[in-house]
């Protein structure tokens, strides 16, 4: 899972129908082409990459379908420009901070940007149908118990270093994700794998010790992107700075805190069918520029010469961008958004009444108004409305401060000190410690203070944050997930397997029931049955206040009207169709 919002922005089984897909195309080997290396701070060695000689197409059947979509500007206002006239140009993208690396298996957040352009996945998650479709894997089968997954791979895919995609490479990739230094989101992909077999050059079979219904969706994420065997075997610290993937772009240079430069692969021809795109990307080059100052970054994208795209836009800048004629895109997080795991092992929060008082003491409408300028949505449950297993628990999330006060009195917090903070019979103040200090937390601090609860904002050092969030030293923590599968709930709150971020005790009977439901939903392929399990688990999470869902995040992109067809898939940034109109 990804870290919380305060780190990622300045502010803010119906029977499973496994689609059989047939791929047609030439099996001839491509001819290597040599490219000259360039001297850079972190330099690419001399290497070769393959030029495609075959025109390929995926003839996919959509036995998998469902409704749904995502928010945001997805239409091509330059549709009158023929595809043959869209090629060329450099897209400059502004980043507020260096992502800390280029490999999404190693560093958080880079999956949104650079990593998705460099490394493809075995499967693709279609945000409109909410189904998994072919990508590097042309077809797959899943055992009835969701324990054994067998994939047939394309035989025409090469990595940026010229090596070919094989079952052996996929095996090396999956094995590499279980090493120290790989972040937790990537590790969840391979958690519980018993064996990985390669019965042929282009077939790989993965067997889990226990059922894993979320595996396909997990594989679709950028942090599960397939890299070359050489990259997969690199020490983790080196993967932060370099990787060879099979994506439509390759890494030309990475100068930390300055820029990341990607170049188009002329031989790329295996984009997911969703993009309706044959051949290489339109753009010749993509440059991510690190520009920390909002005013400088904003001015650059408004001018349109230095930058043509920025994201994670603060809502307060929207009027400025709109008046300047920029295109604004808004995408709803398909997972959780801002959620607060509650430490049930904490002295005061062992009492469910105190936790419930916190839950009903959150004015979510006011929170999003201040934290995001009203752009985000108040949470209606542990999962976002864009998650295919969204469970509406809004009846339990109504703002009711009088109920909160009554619950606190029932819990023994009947007296109030001169500072307005409640005191129990032992003279202890109802003071809770949290690991952040930003506008959102300040809103919660103010709302809960009106109930007589003190919130101490005590953020750890950034390098210590992930570890400390799992240490149990805070009363309430934060987290944020973006995977469009309900298994994010097990990953975060499961006790048998999972992070148990609420520190549910062994003798907590309701907690045991919750854990059973979270484990069972990931062992259930039948969609309707899985939804029932998710609904029950979501109800318990909210009613028992093991977590406090606050808001569902909407990512804002702002870009030049010259830029067309840049695609948000979930929160990932896809560049295969992006093109720049001529000035």
pLDDT tier at 170, thresholds 50, 70, 90:
very high
Q: What is the mean pLDDT of residues 156-185?
A: 94
Determine the average pLDDT of the residues in 231-256: 94
- Report the largest interatomic distance among the alpha carbons of the chain, rounded to a whole angstrom: 81
Q: How far is CA 83 from the centre of its chain?
A: 30
Cα 428 to chain centroid, rounded = 40
Conformation bin of residue 184: beta by default, left when phi > 0, alpha when psi is -120 to 50: alpha
For residue range 301-352, what is the model confidence (pLDDT) as tens digits? 999 999 999 988 888 899 999 999 999 999 998 888 889 999 999 999 999 9
CA distance linking residue 384 with residue 539, whole number of Å: 14
User: Is the per-residue pLDDT at 499 higher than 70?
Assistant: yes
pLDDT band (50, 70, 90) for residue 225: very high
| Rounded distance between C-alpha atoms, residue 554 and residue 372, angstroms | 9
- Break the chain down into helix, strand, coil percent, rounded to 5: 25, 25, 50
Return the HEC string of 357-389. Answer: HHHHCCCHHHHHHHHHCCCCEECCCCCCCCCCC
Instruction: Over range 469-480, report the average pLDDT.
Output: 89
Task: Give the pLDDT confidence score for residue 44 in this predicted structure.
Answer: 36
Work out the pLDDT band at 467, boundaries 50, 70, 90: confident
At 497, is the secondary structure helix, strand, or coil? coil
Q: Is the pLDDT of residue 218 over 80?
A: yes
Residue spans per domain, the chain: 90-332+557-580, 337-552
| pLDDT beyond 50 at 69 | no
Residue 181's pLDDT band, with cuts at 50, 70 and 90, is: confident
Between residues 532 and 71, the one the model is more confident about: 532
More confident residue, 533 or 372: 533
46 three-class SS? coil
pLDDT in tens, 96-151: 999 999 999 988 778 788 999 999 999 999 999 999 999 999 999 999 999 999 99
Residue 343, classed as helix, strand or coil, is: coil
How sure is the predictor about 445, in pLDDT bands with cuts at 50, 70 and 90? very high
**Tokens 């901070």, residue?**
97
pTM of the model: 0.81
pLDDT of 187 over the 50 cut: yes
- When pLDDT is cut at 50, 70 and 90, the band that residue 67 belongs to is very low
Q: How confident is the model at residue 462 (pLDDT cuts 50, 70, 90)?
A: confident
Percent of the chain with pLDDT over 90: 73
Decide: 336 and 549 in contact? Cβ < 8 Å.
yes
Give the per-residue pLDDT at 77.
Answer: 53
pLDDT at 182: 87
CB atoms within 10 A of CB 551: 26
Q: Tell me which CATH homologous superfamily contains domain 90-332+557-580.
A: Periplasmic binding protein-like II (3.40.190.10)
Q: Is 80 exceeded by the pLDDT of residue 173?
A: yes
pLDDT-derived band of residue 209, with 50, 70 and 90 as boundaries? very high
Task: Give residue 566's pLDDT band: very low, low, confident or very high (50, 70, 90).
Answer: very high
Q: What is the pLDDT of residues 523-535, one digit of tens each?
A: 999 999 999 999 9
pLDDT of residue 466: 74
Query: What does the pLDDT average to over 414-424?
Result: 96
**Considering just the CA atoms, what is the radius of gyration of the chain in Å?**
24
CB 489 within 8 A of CB 522: no
> Cα–Cα–Cα angle for 123, 129, 133, nearest 5°?
20
- Between 70 and 201, name the one with better pLDDT: 201
Is the confidence at residue 465, as pLDDT, over 70? Answer: yes
Q: Over range 384-391, report the average pLDDT.
A: 94
Structure tokens, 316: 């307060």
Beta bridge partners of 309: 93, 559
pLDDT at residue 420 tops 90: yes
Which of these CATH numbers, 3.10.450.50, 3.40.50.300, 3.10.105.10, 3.40.50.10420, describes 337-552? 3.10.105.10
Note the pLDDT of residue 2. Answer: 55
Q: Has residue 70 got a pLDDT over 70?
A: no
Average confidence score pLDDT of the chain:
86
Task: Name the residue with higher pLDDT: 569 or 411.
Answer: 411
Least confident window among 15-29, 168-182, 565-579: 15-29
Q: CB–CB of 206/225 below 8 Å? A: no
Q: Residue 396 above 80 pLDDT?
A: yes
Mean pLDDT of 503-532: 96
């Amino acid at each position: 899972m990804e870290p919380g919002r305060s780190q990622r922005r300045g502010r803010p089984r119906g029977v499973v129908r496994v689609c059989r897909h047939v791929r047609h195309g030439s099996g001839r080997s491509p001819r290597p082409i040599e490219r000259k290396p360039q001297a850079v701070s972190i330099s690419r060695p001399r290497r070769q990459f393959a030029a495609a000689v075959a025109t390929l197409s995926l003839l996919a059947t959509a036995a998998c379908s469902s409704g749904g979509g995502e928010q945001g500007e997805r239409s091509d206002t330059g549709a009158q420009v023929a595809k043959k006239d869209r090629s060329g140009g450099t897209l400059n993208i502004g980043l507020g901070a260096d992502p800390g690396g280029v490999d999404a298996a190693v560093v958080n957040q880079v999956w949104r940007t650079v990593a998705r352009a460099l490394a493809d996945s075995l499967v693709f998650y279609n945000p409109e149908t909410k189904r998994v479709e072919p990508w590097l894997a042309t077809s797959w089968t899943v055992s009835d118990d969701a324990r054994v997954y067998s994939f047939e791979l394309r035989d025409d895919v090469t990595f940026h270093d010229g090596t070919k995609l094989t079952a052996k490479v996929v095996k090396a990739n999956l094995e590499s994700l279980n090493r120290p230094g790989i972040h937790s989101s990537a590790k969840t992909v391979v958690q519980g794998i018993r064996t990985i077999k390669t019965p042929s050059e282009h077939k790989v079979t993965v067997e889990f010790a226990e059922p894993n219904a979320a595996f396909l969706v997990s594989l679709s994420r950028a942090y599960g992107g397939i890299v070359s065997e050489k990259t997969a075997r690199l020490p983790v610290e080196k993967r932060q700075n370099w990787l060879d993937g099979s994506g439509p772009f390759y890494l030309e240079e990475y100068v930390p805190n300055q820029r990341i430069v990607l170049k188009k692969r002329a031989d790329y021809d295996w984009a997911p069918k969703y993009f309706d795109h044959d051949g290489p990307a339109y753009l010749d080059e993509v440059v991510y520029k690190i520009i920390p100052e909002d005013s400088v970054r904003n001015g650059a994208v408004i001018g349109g010469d230095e930058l043509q795209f920025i994201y994670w836009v603060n809502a307060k800048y929207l009027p400025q961008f709109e008046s300047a004629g920029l295109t604004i895109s808004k995408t709803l997080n398909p997972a959780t958004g801002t959620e607060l795991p509650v430490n049930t092992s904490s002295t005061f929060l062992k009492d469910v009444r105190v936790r419930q008082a916190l839950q009903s003491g959150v004015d979510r409408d006011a929170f999003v108004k201040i934290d995001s300028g009203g752009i985000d949505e108040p949470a209606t449950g542990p999962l976002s409305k864009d998650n295919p297993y969204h469970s509406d628990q809004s009846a339990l999330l109504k703002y009711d401060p009088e109920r909160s006060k009554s619950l606190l009195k029932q819990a023994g917090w009947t007296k109030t000190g001169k500072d307005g903070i409640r005191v129990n019979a032992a003279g202890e103040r109802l003071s809770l410690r949290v690991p952040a200090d930003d506008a959102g937390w300040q809103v919660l601090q103010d709302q809960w203070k009106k109930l007589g609860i003190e919130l101490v904002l005590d953020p750890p050092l950034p390098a210590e944050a992930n570890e400390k969030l799992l240490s149990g030293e805070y009363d309430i923590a934060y987290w944020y997930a973006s995977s469009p599968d309900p298994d994010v709930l097990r990953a975060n709150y499961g006790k048998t397997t999972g992070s148990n971020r609420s520190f549910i005790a062994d003798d907590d009977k309701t907690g045991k029931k919750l854990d059973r439901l979270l484990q069972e939903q990931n062992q259930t392929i039948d969609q309707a049955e899985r939804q029932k399990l998710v609904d029950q688990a979501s109800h318990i999470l909210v009613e028992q206040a093991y977590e406090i869902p606050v808001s569902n995040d909407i990512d804002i992109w702002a870009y030049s009207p010259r830029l067309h067809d840049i695609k948000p898939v979930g929160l990932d940034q896809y560049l295969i169709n992006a093109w720049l109109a001529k000035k």
